[in-house]
A and B are shown apart, each in its own frame.
Chain A
Amino acid sequence: MIKIANVSKQYGDFKVLTECSTTVSKGEVIVVCGPSGSGKSTLIKCVNGLEPFQSGEIVVNGISVGDRKTNLSKLRAQVGMVFQNFELFPHMSITENLVIAQTKVLKRSKDEAMDKGMKLLDRVGLRAQAAKYPGQLSGGQQQRVAIARALAMDPICMLFDEPTSALDPEMVNEVLDVMTELAREGMTMMCVTHEMGFAKSVANRVIFMDQGRIVEDDSKDAFFANPRSERAQQFLAKILQH
């Protein structure tokens, strides 16, 4: 589904990504973790072409992301993305947030889009909030709407960039629950997160990044039982203390 091969990226002299390679198969859930500044967000944004990269290749569903001839908008419409800061559109009601890309990008009819949007709102338990604006919802609610918005496009896979790290602790679980359910239904997911509980329960594999490199890429059991690199061991020790 997603193939990342020898991807490198730099800002001037600063190497953000160095020779990153991995693959995500259909239905797989991959958790990406690593210290701050290790390039996790950059890597995940390369997957849907939000960040350009200088060398290597990323292929999503058979389409090369780095190819100049690729219609990136069309590709992105098939790849859902959820951001740390939700990024709902503040001037639109929740309903409009869910409907706009369906009608403008997928050219669905207004009715069809509404129908789909409401079903998804139901699914994330926010049907009652449909007429409100993002600024009137809690962080956890906003993030659930953001997930629903991405799902409304019927994505072939979902990218998450630290979806819970801007949330108050008591709201983390409502978002993780939605993600867990999604994973159980077979959605292909690539999640940057430090929620190791989530990784342990639903991930197939864990990728550990450090200084722009993929240092570990292992099955979840192997990663948690016995991380190979010292950096990953230290990282795990630190994060599991909490």
Chain B
Amino acid sequence: MNYQWNWGVFLQPSATGDDTYLGWMISGLQMTIALSLSAWVLALMLGALVGVLRTVPNKLLAGLATAYVELFRNIPLLVQLFIWYFVLPELLPPDLGNAFKQSHPVMQQFLSSMVCLGLFTSARVAEQVRAGINSLPRGQKNAGLALGFTLPQTYRFVMLPMAFRLVVPPLTSEFLNIFKNSAVCSTIGLLELAAQGRQLVDYTAQPYESFIAVTLAYVMINVVVMLLMRRLETKVAVPGYIGGK
């Protein structure tokens, strides 16, 4: 193979002139992180809520929560993204739809991507939260209620604190997934890490360097997330709890 390695390419001024290629990579990394983190916050909030609702005695609420999970889990992520980006703005009330279409294109891409990733991941978070709650000893709920706590108080003080500790490990993998899944958003033109990598290939004709750099960036994100989650796990570990660390 006759490949000309050139790691110096990252320091060259980019084709558009106002930045280096390294600058492109960094802006892609920033976009990936901003998108994934904001979608993660959304996913955690909605997922916790829906996961809890799946376990409540009220049949209607539990049913709605189940429908939510099935809907967002079973439609492919790419299809969901196209719906949020291309279809939904047309279905919005005209005022809102136009406001969306007149906003900055990057804003449009970012918002659609964030909502899409957030909701998709929330369904998966909800399943983990539900599993966590269901894995608690049944008597815990009764113990809370027997002390005079209302059902919401029992969730708040008794069941959820333990359930969330139990789901930290599975949530770590969902957290990692959201970074990987965010690459899908390059299909609607959002210039996140993977898209910048591809753009770099087009402009520099140095595919190996470009994709190695992209890969390393994803690996770095993974390592940081895993370290943070492990920290969290130790921090919330319950002394003497069997099955706890």
Which residues of A does B touch, CB under 8 Å?
A: 45, 48, 50, 72-74, 76-81, 83-85, 87-91, 100-101, 104-106, 132-137, 149-150, 153
Contact = CB atoms under 8 A, between A and B. Distances in A.
B1 interface: no
A104 B142 contact: no
B33 interface: no
Contacts of B242: 135
Contacts, number: 83
B148 interface: yes
B139 A87 contact: yes
Given A104-B157, A133-B240, A89 B140 contact: yes
Contact of B149 (A50, A79, A88, A105): A105
A215 B241 CA distance: 41
15 contacts: A50-B146, A73-B149, A77-B147, A80-B146, A81-B143, A83-B142, A84-B139, A85-B137, A89-B144, A89-B162, A90-B162, A101-B149, A105-B147, A135-B240, A153-B148
Contact of A91 (B142, B148, B161): B161
A77 B142 contact: no
Given A50-B142, A85-B137, A85-B139, A91 B149 contact: no
A72 B149 CA distance: 10
Contacts of A134: 240
Interface of B: 137, 139-140, 142-150, 153, 157-158, 161-162, 165, 238-242, 244
A73 B148 CA distance: 4
B238 A91 contact: yes
A50 B153 contact: no
A91 B162 contact: yes
Given A83-B142, A87-B137, A91-B165, A133 B147 contact: no
Contacts of B145: 50, 72-73, 76
A52 to B, nearest CB: 10
A100 B148 contact: no
Contacts of B147: 76-77, 101, 105, 149-150, 153
Contacts of B144: 89
- Most B CB contacts (10 A, CB to CB) among A76, A85, A91 go to A91
A149 B244 CA distance: 24
Contacts of B137: 85, 87
A157 B139 CA distance: 20
A74 B153 CA distance: 13
Given A133-B239, A133-B240, A135-B238, A79 B157 contact: no
A28 B150 CA distance: 29
A135 B139 contact: no
Nearest to A93: B239
A186 to B, nearest CB: 22
B238 A76 contact: no
Contacts of A50: 142, 145-146
Given A90-B162, A100-B157, A48 B146 contact: yes
B238 A90 contact: yes
Given A91-B162, A105-B149, A135 B239 contact: yes
A132 B239 contact: yes
A104 B153 contact: yes
Contact of B140 (A81, A87, A136): A87
B137 to A, nearest CB: 7
B144 to A, nearest CB: 8
A76 B158 contact: no
B22 to A, nearest CB: 46
A85 B242 CA distance: 14
B146 A76 contact: yes
A106 B144 CA distance: 14
Given A89-B140, A105-B148, A133-B239, 17 more contacts: A45-B142, A48-B146, A50-B146, A73-B145, A74-B148, A76-B146, A77-B147, A78-B148, A79-B146, A84-B139, A89-B144, A90-B238, A101-B148, A101-B149, A133-B241, A135-B239, A136-B239
